[in-house]
Structure 1
């Protein structure tokens, strides 16, 4: 499983164009307070919440996880 993640991440690390109508979405359940925190953190990074979560997972977590 970890090997598959690494291969997917390293092989597909190109600039991506996201089509908001055709791309897959993942819905997560958060409290109102958690949602506010995510929005504020995204604002600090000058990103919308969707791009912030994507950046957090693919830019930070996976980079640190793979290293």
Structure 2
């Protein structure tokens, strides 16, 4: 079940909790879902601020354009 918690954290806004515990997260992924390592290793290797900026770009880019009336 802990792997589901890690996957949930990977889908949320990147925060210091995940980055502070990235070694444990990588160990869990390696043991329970090794197919995810190709995604998780580079994700957690980057600086937290870079990943937060990318996350915001994805979210803002997916919002529909607002028209003014």
Q: Judge same fold: TM > 0.5, yes or no.
A: no
TM-score normalised by length of structure 1: 0.34
Looking at CA atoms only, which structure, 1 or 2, has the larger radius of gyration?
A: 2
Higher relative contact order (CA 8 A, sep 6+): 2
